[in-house]
Structure 1
């Protein structure tokens, strides 16, 4: 799958170029347009999604998020997983899977499902963000603090710690309300410029 983005960062649309028989899964209702001959199959499982499959000659599908914001392609190599904001994946190729209860989240969330999902495998993802996407590259020993509402994702292996901003204020592992995430370099962190 080749990915071409346009109309970002406010109204991102992504064109997914598919080779013969190649398929991509996306949110149902996210397709803007496709080349003639691309087939679609809707899954009745929750969450409802649609698989678009290219004909023998190949084809394309234009996908857009329901809300204004940017789209961001992320190629996964099969060796390093990514911790991504819940509901931020707009489209994905086969071979990728999510695990909201990944054991690596236990230090952050305990046994609860938090505001992040773990994605692993090899293939392409397209993320949707509120506002534009910022990629921060942290140097060795560099420390930053991020509000969960603006966190889009980071690769596994980046040191992170979840903490309460104010012990007496309400806090939610599910939404990140009242919490902050501290990161230590080296590594990369993806941020969105508007709160989720």
Structure 2
């Protein structure tokens, strides 16, 4: 799968160019259009409000255009089979069939305990297309460098990055499923992808 983006940074669209017979999983409501002959198979309901579908190219190949519901960039994250990423659930638009997602990755036990948190572990060889609310920032941490991030602004980080989850106010409500009331501390080396806006604030602004 090749990914070609356009209309960034404000209103990003990703064109997923598929080889003959190649399949890709994408959020069905994010689809704008496909080339003629692309087969669409609904996969029921995914995590949260996601409604994934599998798009399969015909013998001559094809393409699928996807875009996020809210304004912002789209970012193609290429995995080479050696490095894996922790990705915020619900932030992806499309994922190659050669990638694996595991929300129960053992590395999350230190963050979430026995509960299912707001992150998924993605590994393998291929491309995942992320929806960024607002603009994308790429933060590269040197060894021993520290940073604190609001989970609502986090898109993804390399799974070798050290991370710690803590409460903003121990007496206030917190949720490991959404990240509400929590902060994430990271220690390098590693790479983080963050977004300058959050879906909640952007949706509220658009609804004014």
Q: Give me the TM-score of the superposition, normalised by structure 1.
A: 0.94
Alpha-carbon shift at residue 78 of structure 1 (Å): 2.1
CA–CA distance in structure 2, aligned partners of residues 44 and 173 of structure 1: 25
Equivalences, count: 196
Deviations 1:4-27 (A, max 9, x none): 111122211101111111111111
Q: Is residue 101–residue 111 contact of structure 1 (8 Å, CA) maintained in 2?
A: no
2:156 maps to: 153
Q: Give me the TM-score of the superposition, normalised by structure 2.
A: 0.89
1:70 maps to: 73
Q: 1:103 aligns with which of 103, 106, 109?
A: 106
3-state SS in 2 of match to 1:188: strand
CA–CA distance in structure 1, aligned partners of residues 148 and 158 of structure 2: 16
- Answer with 169-178 or 37-46: which moved more: 37-46
Matched, 1:80 2:63: no
1:23 maps to: 23
3-state SS in 2 of match to 1:10: coil
Deviations 1:122-150 (A, max 9, x none): 21110112111111011121111100010
Alpha-carbon shift at residue 62 of structure 1 (Å): 0.7
Matched, 1:52 2:55: yes
Gaps of 5+ in 1: none
Gaps of 5+ in 2: 200-208
Alpha-carbon shift at residue 45 of structure 1 (Å): 5.0
Q: Is residue 101–residue 112 contact of structure 1 (8 Å, CA) maintained in 2?
A: no
* Structure in which a larger fraction of residues adopt helix: 2
CA RMSD of aligned residues (A): 1.4
Alpha-carbon shift at residue 43 of structure 1 (Å): 2.0
Alpha-carbon shift at residue 120 of structure 1 (Å): 1.7
- Answer with 42-51 or 178-187: which moved more: 42-51
